[in-house]
Chain A
Amino acid sequence: MSDLFAVVMLSGIYSLISASLFLDLDAVDVAFTEASVGAGISTLLMLASLKLVSRYQKKTRYKPILAFFVVVTTGAMLIYGTLDMPHFGTADAPVHTHVAPRYLNESMGEIGVPNVVTSVLASYRGYDTLGETLVIFTAGIGVMALLMVSKQTKQESKKLIPADMQQQIILRIVAKMMIPLILMFALYVQFHGDYGPGGGFQAGVIFAAGIILYTMLFGLSTSQEVFKATTIELFTAAGVLLYGGVGVVCMLLGGNFLDYDFLKHDPVHGQHLGILLVELGVGITVASVMMIIFFKFTWRTVKHKYKK
């Protein structure tokens, strides 16, 4: 297939289908994330970069036989490797015998949060999540550094840049009604993550999606009135700082790093507060990094458009 637009759209559909498969495999939080990230933001970013490169692939003269041979050999070895694996759906597989029963049985008493995924994510494995938030933050910095915007472009953008979809009246009106709902839903997902599927990662992505929708329909300069690039850049750091700050406060109150038991007199209340704050930090970082990445790609388009 030489039309990259079709490739990107198909990969979006693939992500949506895999999200429904995740749902079928009981991983509600993962399905949620895949639907919003894989089918939403990822497709969008690919389309944004397609605008900057050529849409059609050149005719290539590659020799697929060698690649095919390598792939088939790897596959044969991997299939051979699976023969020793536990069967699908068995309850006594080694995966289920170590830490998982503890999480399922004790977390209600220790953390008091019904969604085990949230309590493992934010409390038991809080270090991991801190690391992952930092990776997202670093990737955001990387994109910012790669797609830097010159002052000249910034000044030119002060003239009102019309969005490409300025003419789409139906889309604009529907979006105007949808955007508040999208933002509200993001906040619901953020603060209801303890009790149902959701949490900072999903909420951040959904929030960013709402703002990106607004930017696409009403133009970059309009949305930058509210969401200034410099402010969002600060927010990316603020989220990580909030996460790490909660950990340091725990240390100052006499516990270990990210040991929320010490945040309040009652350990369970402390855990609640800690998880809430940490998820908020994750949400802020994810939302602002996604927004900043999209803005940077749009800036590039603007730069190319107004070069002459």
Chain B
Amino acid sequence: MNILGLYNYWIVVVLMLIGFYIVIAHENLIKKLVGLSIFQTSVFFFYISMGKITGATAPILDEKYELYSNPLPHVLILTAIVVGIATTALGLALVVRIQEAYGSIEERDIQEQDAHDQLECQLEAYGPSSMEISDEQEQDE
């Protein structure tokens, strides 16, 4: 056996990196969630491919078969998939609320609005004397 016997892990790593890249490089929140679910599937593949034995069959006991794949990763991933969709739904609900509050689901828009709000709060709290500082901050941006 040579190093090529590890190809299943490499597929997992590539999928994981695709998901990771989408999560950190894209600004749209729905895309981020899709990236997160690709990341998640890569972990599923990692577990399931570790449980596979060459020449084995699915772990449903029958007298005709001797060799079965490892059932434990299947159990863990089976529940993880359903938990994954429940948490994705929670994320989507958050996205919907963000859309309602900010009118956008692009990260940059949200951050700009937040910075703007912060400036207004500062003005309200400290009066116009703090304007000089906030002007500088605006220039920085």
Contact = CB atoms under 8 A, between A and B. Distances in A.
A and B: interacting chains: yes
Interface of A: 4, 7-8, 11, 14-15, 18, 21-22, 25-30, 33-34, 37-38, 41-42, 45-46, 48-50, 52-54, 57-58, 60-62, 64, 67-68, 70-72, 74-75, 78-79, 82-83, 85-91, 93, 95-96, 99-100, 103-104, 107-108, 114-117, 120-121, 125, 128-129, 132, 135-136, 139-140, 142-143, 146-147, 195-197, 199, 201, 205, 286, 289-290, 293, 296-297, 300
A90 to B, nearest CB: 7
B38 A27 contact: no
A218 B96 CA distance: 24
B96 A67 contact: no
B13 A117 contact: no
Interface in B54-112: 54, 56-62, 67-90, 92-97, 99-100, 104-106, 108-109
Contacts of B78: 29-30, 33, 117, 121, 199, 201
A293 to B, nearest CB: 5
B30 interface: yes
B30 A100 contact: no
B52 A88 contact: yes
Where chain B touches its partner, the secondary structure class is helix
Contact of A26 (B34, B58, B81, B100): B58
B126 interface: no
A79 B28 CA distance: 29
B7 to A, nearest CB: 7
Interface residues of B, number: 79
B105 A143 contact: no
B21 A18 contact: no
Contact of B83 (A26, A28, A125, A136): A136
A25 B106 contact: no
Given A60-B27, A75-B17, A114-B60, A38 B5 contact: no
Given A42-B88, A116-B68, A88 B16 contact: no
Interface string B31-61: 1011001100100110011111110111111
Nearest to B5: A87
B28 A57 contact: yes
A109 to B, nearest CB: 11
Nearest to A91: B53
B51 to A, nearest CB: 7
A117 B75 contact: yes
Contacts of B54: 88-91
A243 to B, nearest CB: 13
B125 interface: no
B82 A146 contact: no
22 contacts: A4-B28, A25-B48, A30-B48, A37-B84, A45-B89, A45-B92, A49-B93, A53-B30, A58-B109, A67-B25, A79-B13, A82-B6, A86-B50, A88-B6, A88-B52, A95-B72, A100-B71, A100-B72, A114-B62, A135-B83, A146-B93, A297-B92
Contact of B79 (A42, A60, A90, A129): A129
B27 A62 contact: yes
Contacts of A21: 45
Nearest to B41: A18
A275 to B, nearest CB: 13
Given A15-B41, A26-B56, A117-B59, A57 B97 contact: no
